[in-house]
């Protein structure tokens, strides 16, 4: 939904809209309700919150770990284009000769175990142009199997966090808009009304607006599940079918 379809294009617009709708004279109370709504939407997955994986590049430290970006909300897909990866290229790098590695996300206990025992096995031979690795969060970094060397460039595709309304940005200015308000204004409106009536203990109205909020949220989730936004299921399958290795699950 475009922000132009509703008279809400900024935080002040939202507060004014809710005040007029409810008859409230307390702007601070409405801002509190807006904040509660934002907490309800912290894990929302909107197209506007996706990064460009050709431009968001992470570099491995001396231990083969890639620091978790400060603005990351949830990872979507990590991959390695090979030794000739060009940072922030804006698109696929035609200079790469592979092998490309697409990483599947696993648990932190599993990744630590596989890192420790990976040297007990022979290295795979006849590796195809595309094969699958694994990654997981360990502390404030991402660990990868097979391990990567210092300086290795990893393309990071993920959902970003977003600034909350009425907070202060790095320039000292009050945040009046963000991509969630611009692309999902109904979430802000329905959620704020729900929290307002809930605070006033008007449960019938609170439940009504919560139902509207959940319906709008479920519509987004349904589109994600159908691959309209996220692009299919989370585990991709390569067209290559080499021999299997019990650690790297080559496909």
Distance CA 116, CA 41 (A): 38
- For the four alpha carbons of 95, 101, 162 and 47, in that order, the dihedral sign comes to positive
Residue-level pLDDT at 242: 39
Query: 34 and 174 in contact (C-beta within 8 Å)?
Result: no
- For the four alpha carbons of 230, 235, 237 and 242, in that order, the dihedral sign comes to positive
User: What's the chain's length in residues?
Assistant: 251
The proportion of the chain whose per-residue pLDDT surpasses 90, expressed as a percent, equals 51
The proportion of the chain whose per-residue pLDDT surpasses 70, expressed as a percent, equals 75
Which residue is it, tokens 């519509």?
Answer: 219
pLDDT for 38 beyond 50: yes
What residue spans define the domains of the chain?
3-42+162-201, 48-160
For the residues 160-170, what does the mean pLDDT come to?
94
Task: State pTM to two decimals.
Answer: 0.76
Distance CA 143, CA 77 (A): 14
Residue-level pLDDT at 110: 82
Q: What is the mean pLDDT of the chain?
A: 81
Residue-level pLDDT at 104: 85
Residue-level pLDDT at 236: 44
Kindly give the pairing relationship between strand 153-160 and strand 141-145.
unpaired
What counts of helices (H) and strands (E) characterise the chain?
6, 7
Distance CA 117, CA 105 (A): 18
Which residue is it, tokens 């309304």?
Answer: 165
Torsion of CA 189, 191, 197, 202, to 10 degrees: 120
pLDDT for 237 beyond 50: no
Better-scored residue on pLDDT, 14 or 106: 14
Query: 165 and 181 in contact (C-beta within 8 Å)?
Result: yes
Residue-level pLDDT at 3: 42
pLDDT for 4 beyond 80: no
Better-scored residue on pLDDT, 87 or 148: 148
Q: pLDDT tier at 2 (50, 70, 90 boundaries)? A: very low
Residue-level pLDDT at 185: 92
Alpha helices in 165-229 (DSSP H): 179-183, 185-199, 203-225
The residues with which 57 forms a beta bridge, in sequence order, are 155
pLDDT in tens, 136-145: 999 999 999 8
């Amino acid at each position: 939904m475009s922000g132009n379809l509703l008279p809400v294009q900024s935080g002040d617009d939202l507060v004014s809209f809710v005040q007029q709708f409810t008859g409230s004279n307390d702007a601070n109370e409405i801002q509190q309700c807006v904040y509660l709504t934002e907490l309800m939407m912290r894990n929302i997955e909107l197209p506007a919150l996706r990064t460009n994986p050709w431009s968001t590049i992470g570099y491995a430290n001396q231990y083969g770990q890639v620091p978790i970006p400060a603005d990351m909300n949830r990872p979507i897909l990590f991959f390695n284009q090979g030794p000739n990866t060009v940072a922030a290229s804006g698109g696929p790098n035609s200079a790469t000769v592979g092998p490309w590695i697409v990483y599947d996300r696993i648990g932190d206990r599993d990744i630590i175990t596989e890192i420790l025992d990976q040297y007990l096995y022979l290295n795979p031979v006849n590796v195809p142009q595309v094969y699958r690795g694994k990654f997981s969060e360990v502390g404030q970094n991402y660990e990868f199997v097979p391990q990567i060397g210092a300086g290795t460039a990893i393309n990071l595709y993920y959902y970003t966090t977003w600034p909350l309304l009425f907070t202060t940005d790095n320039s000292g200015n009050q945040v009046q808009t963000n991509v969630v308000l611009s692309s999902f204004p109904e979430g802000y409106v329905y959620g704020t009304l729900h929290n307002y009536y809930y605070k006033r203990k008007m449960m019938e109205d609170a439940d009504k607006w919560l139902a509207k909020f959940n319906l709008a949220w479920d519509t987004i989730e349904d589109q994600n599940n159908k691959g309209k936004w996220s692009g299919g299921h989370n585990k991709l399958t390569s067209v290559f079918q080499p021999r299997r290795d019990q650690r790297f699950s080559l496909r």
